[in-house]
Amino acid sequence: MSYTLGQLCDFVGGVLHGDGLIKVDRLATIKLARANELTFVANPKYVAELDKTNAGGVLVKNQAQADKVSNAIIVENPYLAFAKLTALFNTVTSNWTGKHATATVAESAHIGRNVTIGPNVVIEENAVLEDNVVVSAGCVLGANVFIGRNTKLNANVTIYHSVIIGKDCIIHSGAVIGADGFGFAPEGQGWQKIHQLGSVEIGNKVEIGANTTIDRGAIEDTRIGNGVIIDNQVQIAHNVEIGDNTAIAGCAAIAGSTAIGQNCTISGGVGVIGHLEIADNVHITAMSLVSKSISVAGSYSSGTGLDNTDKWRRSAARLRRIDEMAKAIAQLEKQLNKLY
């Protein structure tokens, strides 16, 4: 697929610098880009690469950067413009509609127009698939599931019964939505299962990564807001609520009944314990443990940073003595106060 630089400029609403007739066949990184490829500079540390790049065109932020190359598109946000252009060069699309011969679809299911149902798909009773939905090979949709228009399920996604998924969503392979939450009551030396009576409700324009799990609620529903993006291998427990446009990176785990606000970022490997409330616009750095509610927007971290092993062990040993050290300091303060 090929476009002229001028066409790409119009698509992102930029200002053209140089030859608008240059042909662009694909996108590339600034270090490896060739004469038929378009790249971008979003991070200031890569501006120096403009003098060396072989790219046919570059998305840049200002005229000074554009003057370093022969052909450029000047935009306010080069990274956002690049993100929009990826849609034009994406070759992984479904080019057929209809139901594959090996798919099993209940007679009571309601299937909209231009729906794709791939090989070995199972769709159970009273499921609703709105127009332009894509259900790829091996997916299983339980009874009473609702899938909004233009949503795509990649191969081997499992959606349990009564889950509601909005429009324009993307769910990647291996994701499981609506499995039972981890609910058990202690009974003597064992456990009594608490049957999970709620479901999962997912908003519009949500993307869910591969092998991520979102558990159904115990009584009320687990809720994922509009525009939420969730990376691979994330665990979201029962009755969690996630506000609009929040982003959650890989291997994060959120325990039950925690409410996370809008426009938050949860970095990779973060653990959030249950029954907490996290305000809007909170940003939690990688590998942090959130053990109490956060009521004020801002960036939060926990844990100790990487260090040489011997030095880290010495620091860890001192941390174990921090309580007695605090008491010793308090005692010294008392003695000093007596002197003055």
DSSP 45: G
Taking CB atoms within 8 Å and a gap of at least 24, the contacts of 306-312 are none
Tokens of 57: 């065109």
Q: Catalogue the active-site residues.
A: 238
Looking at residue 294, the DSSP 8-state letter turns out to be B
What helix, strand, coil percent values describe the chain, rounded to 5?
20, 30, 55
State the DSSP H helix or E strand holding residue 316, giving kind and residue range, or none if neither: helix 309-320
Output the CA angle 258-263-168, nearest 5 degrees. 95
Find the distance separating the first CA and the last CA of the chain, reported in whole Å: 81
Instruction: Look up residue 286 and give its two tokens.
Output: 């990688």
Classified as helix, coil or strand, 130 is coil
- List phi, psi (to 5°) of 7: -65, -40
145 in Cβ contact with 157 (< 8 Å): no
Short-list 219, 181, 227, 183, CA closest to 202: 227
Q: How far apart are CA 178 and CA 171, in angstroms?
A: 13
Q: Would you put residue 63 in left (φ > 0), alpha (ψ -120 to 50) or beta?
A: alpha
275: left (phi over 0), alpha (psi -120 to 50) or beta: left
Q: The tokens of 196 are what?
A: 């999970």
